Structure 1
């Protein structure tokens, strides 16, 4: 029981730290954009549940820290409608209430009476803040530590594999794949995993020359670093990292920002590519992960970052660096997900604002409510599917079966 509790803490605490950072920055993006346009804000909360600390600033915003560190939220004044897009009747009733309470012109401070373009900027500011956070974290890590590079050298070619058919030779060094720079075998694997059945161009260095080889990864079941299994694309080459090949690419602050933008873009590009193949039926849902896999990835990142440290300080530094890197990756994912045109997400609000801009009136409240329910059902269904997928990928059911047999 003690071991189980220690294991749970190993995964839960890093997960909560990463999630709270990413979600709080997302909400801070909404908050800062709203304040820039003079929107009245009632509350900004870090965490949920009963507050363990709270205070009110000069602008009348209540800042609070909740006991449950599961993210945070910002609440605009007068924002009682769950979809945050009331229709014409709701707006008129809200206007009368505000004028009666605060006087003529006071409604201009409220979110729903701001111009459409300002509301759209405020809605988009959350996802944008996530992308900025990812770029900043990547840039900080690149500035402080550089990027460790192990050339993706081909040390072996599996007989009959796509790599052999494409003409890969032992000693080749893969430098680009599908147009993306390859700095390590891990970079190469991330490209290949999502391209099962898709002809892909690889640029290799061989005897001082650069050659372009085209190979089509084939789908196979492999074990991942988390102990789970997934059916992904495999090329059929082997690579063994050697310390003598280890290089560290150093970045000045300007180069680091460029590197952060490139890393953030690569994650976005990979996500869009995967979803496109998933919708078209060319890819499986094995890579869709939920909170369980995120929690496990957080714990695994912390443990791997702390591994080999000679003292407590080095251990904490290594774990912190690994978690910041994970937070950057997760921040890109949350930013992208919130831009999807699904009601209850920021992208859904932007969709409603687009309709309002064209029709010159807000969408009917009943339609908004129906969209809200459908969007919520979609999100809950996706979360349940991702959690079920996590349980299967992590072989939890097999573990329980073995335990009970």
Structure 2
């Protein structure tokens, strides 16, 4: 299947990222408003304003020309660390009471936490909607067949084996088995298998393979070499919340597993993607239908929530770390220390952005084409 056109891809990317950024910032906005903090600006995108309006509360709602994020600027946000300044102290008492810095540390903590939390909340309801429409995989993790010469064959796994758990991770469905193995190429895993009335533990070294989709995208995955059934069944409405929570937990576990593999060198850093890759995949999934596109939005929302909770200054997680320190010390860190931390955080984020963008361009074959032109 050919990839969708450029303009379709750009539109799909904006429709994917825009609402998720809006949801994230809306979490900050509503909890801030709940605590009586005035929001001066609510922006989707950065840079010069394309369009906007000011509501009766005095909040400027606007869209910036660079759709790579967004922000809510609360009254009193006069520096990167949101710490009290001479300018803040000079405000009238009534006006100062509506500023971010005037609130207790636990209130500031909740205002910042609300952004990532809202991304997870979006994913929670999105997964329930998807499962209500598509159903859930319900076939048990039972081996239907074994490929000759595969990792499963060499380990002695046989048809009819019921895989109860892998490395102590309990499995409920064959889909759980497939997902767990796919994330762990070339790893030695311990399979807990039920054979009749016996329970056995079988070590298996997973093979590595390259999987390709209909658009030619490739990914390094683990292969066990077994055949099973993947049956989707409708589930009662009462079971949807639990299924949604399990899906979110599974997505987070997958992210942590991949990042851990990258950190330990088990997985190449070239597999990390950035905004350009998200844009490409957005266009591809949108071309397959709204369910596929909505499922992608759900995963991206979880990613946004997870990344923003990382304890890196400038991200929500960095602010939350400072508030935890303030709560323990009963006083905030010195403004100078916070300023230096935020500068370091900015450097890290910019370096990461450049790196993943380089990866994205390399995955598109740009540098290969340039090399051919130069050569």
TM-score of Structure 1 vs Structure 2, range by shorter chain: 0.7 to 0.9
Q: Distance in 2 between matches of 1:397 and 1:214?
A: 42
- Aligned-pair distance for 1:136? 1.0
**CA displacement 1:137-157 (0-9 Å, x = unmatched):** 101111233236677755541
* 2:320 aligned with 1:350: yes
When normalised by structure 1's length, the TM-score is 0.80
Q: 1:117 maps to which residue?
A: 106
Q: Does 1:17 align with 2:10?
A: no
Where do residues 119-268 of structure 1 align in structure 2 (5 Å cutoff)?
A: 119-147=108-136, 154-159=144-149, 161-169=150-158, 177-178=166-167, 179-181=169-171, 183=173, 187-202=176-191, 213-223=202-212, 227-235=216-224, 237=225, 239=227, 247-268=231-252
**Mind listing any 5+ residue stretches in structure 1 that lack a counterpart?**
305-318
Contact 1:175–1:183, Cα closer than 8 Å, also in 2: no
**TM-fit CA distance, 1:60:** 2.7
Question: Does residue 1:77 correspond to 2:71, yes or no?
Answer: no
Structure 1 residues 19, 175: CA separation in 2 closer, same or farther (over 3 Å shift)? farther
Q: Deviations over 1:12-36 (max 9, x none)?
A: 2111111112111111111111111
- Cα-to-partner distance string for 1:238-296 (whole Å, 9 max, x where unaligned): 548xxxx6633213333112111110011112222332343334443244221122122
In the alignment, structure 1 residue 40 sits paired with structure 2 residue 33: no
- For these two proteins, the number of residue pairs brought into alignment is 371
Residue 93 of structure 1 corresponds to 86
Change (3 A) 1:301 1:183: farther
TM, length-normalised to structure 2? 0.85
Q: RMSD value over aligned CA atoms?
A: 3.1
Question: Structure 1 pair 204/401, CA: closer, same or farther in 2 (3 Å)?
Answer: farther
Shift of residue 128 of structure 1? 0.8
Equivalent of residue 256 in structure 2, options 272, 281, 284: 272
Report the CA distance between 1:56 and its aligned residue: 0.7
CA contact (8 A) 1:227 1:394 kept: no
Gaps of 5+ in 2: none
Partner of 1:50: 49
* Separation (CA, whole Å) in 1 of partners of 2:287 and 2:325: 48
- 2:109–2:323: 8 Å Cα contact kept in structure 1? yes
In structure 2, what is the equivalent of residue 369 of structure 1?
339
